[in-house]
Amino acid sequence: MDVPPDFRPPPELPAAVTPSVEPGPSSGSDDAVTQPPARSPDALTFEQIRERAYELWERNHRPEGFEIEFWLLAERELRKERERRKSADRPNHPAPGSPPA
């Protein structure tokens, strides 16, 4: 059985090809090129989600037609893992107003 298309990496664009945005009449600047928003350092990447979704798909005996479910489950798992790591890294401070243990 072949790998479902949703789990394959997207085709790479050649380095010389960069999408450009034509400034519209209301932009007010001839140099306006929209940049993608800056990604936070702990943001999940497409590749991380794809790899986890593929692992889940394989663990579940490669069923057909469940690509979206595995993708969403992979995102959820990775986010929870990241939240657990963040909370483990933070020192435990008692909530305001609660008595010390």
**42 or 51: which carries more pLDDT confidence?**
51
Residue 89's pLDDT is 86
For the whole model, what pTM was predicted?
0.53
Q: How many other β-carbons are positioned within 10 Å of the β-carbon of residue 9? A: 9
- Which tokens go with 21? 């945005």
Residue 40's pLDDT is 72
Q: Residue 69, SS3?
A: helix
Q: Which of 25, 43, 26, 35 is nearest to 82 (CA)?
A: 43
Q: Residue 98, SS3?
A: coil
The arithmetic mean of pLDDT across residues 69-88, rounded, is: 95
Mean pLDDT of the chain: 76
Residue 26 clears pLDDT 60, i.e. is over it: no
Residue 57 clears pLDDT 90, i.e. is over it: yes
